[in-house]
Chains A and B, each alone.
Chain A
Amino acid sequence: MNPGPFALFKWEAVAAEWPVFATGFGTTALVSLLALLLALALGLAFGMAGASTSKGLRGPTRVYVEFFQNTPLVIQVFFLYNGLPYAGLVLPVFAVGVLGVGIYHGAYVAEIIRAGIEAVPKGQKEAAASQGFNAWQTMVHVVLPQTRRIVLPPLANQAVFLIKNTSVLAMVAGGDLMYQADSWAAGNLYYGPAYVVTGLLYLALCLPLSRWVRRMEKTSAVQA
């Protein structure tokens, strides 16, 4: 009766074919989780290296951070997908997603962690040294615990960006939520409800994360 993009029968079609969206949602959640772990691991390693006094450690960190921050994620993913096969390496598209998004965000996480480490007052390190802590012990027992509280809010932002950025997989037929929504909506042209539902599903992934970190911030503030 109502012929617009949000006609009732289009909503019913989304409801009837919900497994399409559920499959995409699952892929997006899994790629996000693994990419986040990779980004955190890379970020922690490169962040600590970037904050160190050794030029040999800081140099490669700068190269990594500047390269991945200053080239578009879309091109990086396109390269992983269509470029590497010419070198004989055909990664599954799922791995393209985890590596592409994880390495890209690792560069941002590294900068956050470096800034967090440098924000811990110098006196703390000096105090630790005066108590006989070596550099590694100082880092693990004194600096990083204080860094954690500083970096948690910007890290949460990165995690949210990361989840949303997994939608680049739609470009390389990655089977993620955005791809499934595009594919479904392009076939029957019921794009109205399809993209509303997709948006809500991304919100369902990102919102709890923001809320959780909010709470973490409060509790760690009390403990400190």
Chain B
Amino acid sequence: MKKNTIRGLLAAILALALVLPAGAQTTDLDAIKARGLLKVGVKVDVPKFGYKDAGTGVIDGFEIELARIIAGKILGDPKKIDAQGVTAKTRGPLLDNGEIDLVIATFTITEERKKSYNFSDPYFTDGVGMLVKTAKGYKGIKDLNGKRIGVAQSATTKKALQDFGDANGLKFEFAEFNSYPEIKAALDSGRVDAFSVDGAILAGYKDATTSYLPDRFAPQDYGIASKLGNNGLSKLVNDTVKAMKASGEMDKLIAKWELK
């Protein structure tokens, strides 16, 4: 008797789990159209990708332009976007609870993350770079054997460097920080010996006392993420990215923002 009740409950939960996302599929694009606004999570601290001008308060960059193009596809007006700054800690929850429709924020695609979110095809590929204090005289990655490297939480840098180290007999220590300015502060104070994130992001933090190591590692593919189940939106986004790549429009946009 009791067993039957439990079984019944489980079946009901299972049925709900199957039905709910299916119901969402048809409405995700409609919901955005009804709202008349595409809500996008972007970076506000990565120059050229997504950067908020402290003076004017305007967020602009390569990824904001992508958001505009997608808004144009859905709503017919590229200006209908609501760009919101996200961090490593907030971008997942904000997608899950529906506060934002898309994340376009130097979000590296990994197999593990694909289990939680839809990712588009990569729109940009970057490599992991290293910023060090010029005065320390490091010439290459091998000089950092046994040193402490500052990385950003939720970046895939740590894993990429560990894999590289394992393959080349190098060992690194890691310190993870919540934001890029915190890593820069730790580099300046000597707490970490190198500041390592995706090369494009690093460009915003180079100054007179620091320099890049020549090496670049582990290609990082950036994708546009949406909530699992929002299949209408995710297909439209992916089709847009594919079309832009095929037509050369994506390359033009990358060139316009001088990304490497």
Contact residue among B112, B185, B227, B229 (Cβ-Cβ distance under 8 Å from A188): B112
| B96 at interface by CB-CB < 8 Å | yes
1/0 per position for A42-82, CB-CB distance to B under 8 A?
A: 00000000000000000000000000000000000000011
A2 and B92 in contact (CB under 8 A), knowing A85-B189, A86-B189, A189-B113?
Answer: no
A189 and B154 in contact (CB under 8 A), knowing A81-B191, A171-B182, A179-B176?
Answer: yes
Q: Are A186 and B229 in contact (CB under 8 A)?
A: no
Count chain B residues whose beta carbon lies closer than 8 angstroms to a beta carbon of A.
Answer: 35
A190 and B116 in contact (CB under 8 A), knowing A82-B191, A85-B190?
Answer: yes
Report the bound CA distance from A2 to B88 in whole Å: 23
| B213 at interface by CB-CB < 8 Å | no
Complex interface: chain A residues within 8 A of B23 (CB): none
Tally A-B pairs: CB < 8 A: 77
7 shortest A-B CB distances, which residue pairs?
A186-B154, A173-B175, A3-B228, A186-B153, A82-B189, A85-B189, A189-B92
Beyond A3-B228, A188-B110, 12 extra complex contacts between A and B, CB < 8 Å: A3-B227, A3-B229, A85-B190, A85-B191, A173-B175, A173-B176, A182-B153, A182-B176, A186-B88, A186-B154, A188-B112, A189-B117
14 example contacts (A-B, Cβ-Cβ < 8 A) are as follows A3-B229, A9-B115, A81-B189, A81-B191, A82-B188, A82-B189, A82-B191, A83-B189, A90-B191, A172-B191, A173-B150, A182-B153, A182-B178, A190-B116
Taking the closest CB of chain A, its distance from the CB of B69, in whole angstroms, is 26
Report the bound CA distance from A190 to B113 in whole Å: 9
Interface residues of A (CB under 8 A from B): 1-5, 7, 9-10, 81-83, 85-86, 90, 170-173, 179, 182-183, 185-191
Interface stretch (choices B13-21, B131-139, B242-250): B13-21
Complex interface: chain B residues within 8 A of A187 (CB): 112, 153-154, 156, 158-159
Interface residues of B (CB under 8 A from A): 14, 17-18, 21, 88-89, 92-93, 96, 110, 112-113, 115-117, 150, 153-154, 156, 158-159, 175-178, 182, 185-186, 188-191, 227-229
Taking the closest CB of chain B, its distance from the CB of A117, in whole angstroms, is 41
Complex: chain B residue closest to A186, CB-CB: B154
A183 and B153 in contact (CB under 8 A), knowing A1-B17, A5-B93, A9-B115?
Answer: yes
Report the bound CA distance from A186 to B150 in whole Å: 15
Report the bound CA distance from A170 to B227 in whole Å: 28
Report the bound CA distance from A185 to B18 in whole Å: 26
Interface of B is mostly: mixed
Interface of A is mostly: helix
Contact residue among A90, A186, A188 (Cβ-Cβ distance under 8 Å from B89): A186
Complex: chain A residue closest to B227, CB-CB: A3
Report the bound CA distance from A172 to B177 in whole Å: 7
Taking the closest CB of chain A, its distance from the CB of B141, in whole angstroms, is 21
Complex: chain B residue closest to A3, CB-CB: B228
Q: Are B178 and A171 in contact (CB under 8 A)?
A: yes
Taking the closest CB of chain A, its distance from the CB of B173, in whole angstroms, is 10
Complex interface: chain A residues within 8 A of B156 (CB): 187
Q: Are A82 and B93 in contact (CB under 8 A)?
A: no
Complex interface: chain B residues within 8 A of A185 (CB): 89
- Give the most central of A4, A10, A185: most B CB within 10 Å: A4
Report the bound CA distance from A178 to B109 in whole Å: 25
A5 and B92 in contact (CB under 8 A), knowing A82-B186, A171-B178, A186-B154?
Answer: yes
Taking the closest CB of chain A, its distance from the CB of B195, in whole angstroms, is 13
Complex interface: chain A residues within 8 A of B191 (CB): 81-82, 85, 90, 172
Report the bound CA distance from A85 to B188 in whole Å: 10
Q: Are A1 and B18 in contact (CB under 8 A)?
A: yes
Complex interface: chain B residues within 8 A of A173 (CB): 150, 175-177, 186
Report the bound CA distance from A182 to B175 in whole Å: 12
Report the bound CA distance from A173 to B177 in whole Å: 6
Q: Are B89 and A4 in contact (CB under 8 A)?
A: no
Complex: chain A residue closest to B88, CB-CB: A186
A90 and B116 in contact (CB under 8 A), knowing A1-B14, A182-B178, A186-B88?
Answer: no
Report the bound CA distance from A5 to B175 in whole Å: 26
- Give the most central of A172, A187, A189: most B CB within 10 Å: A189
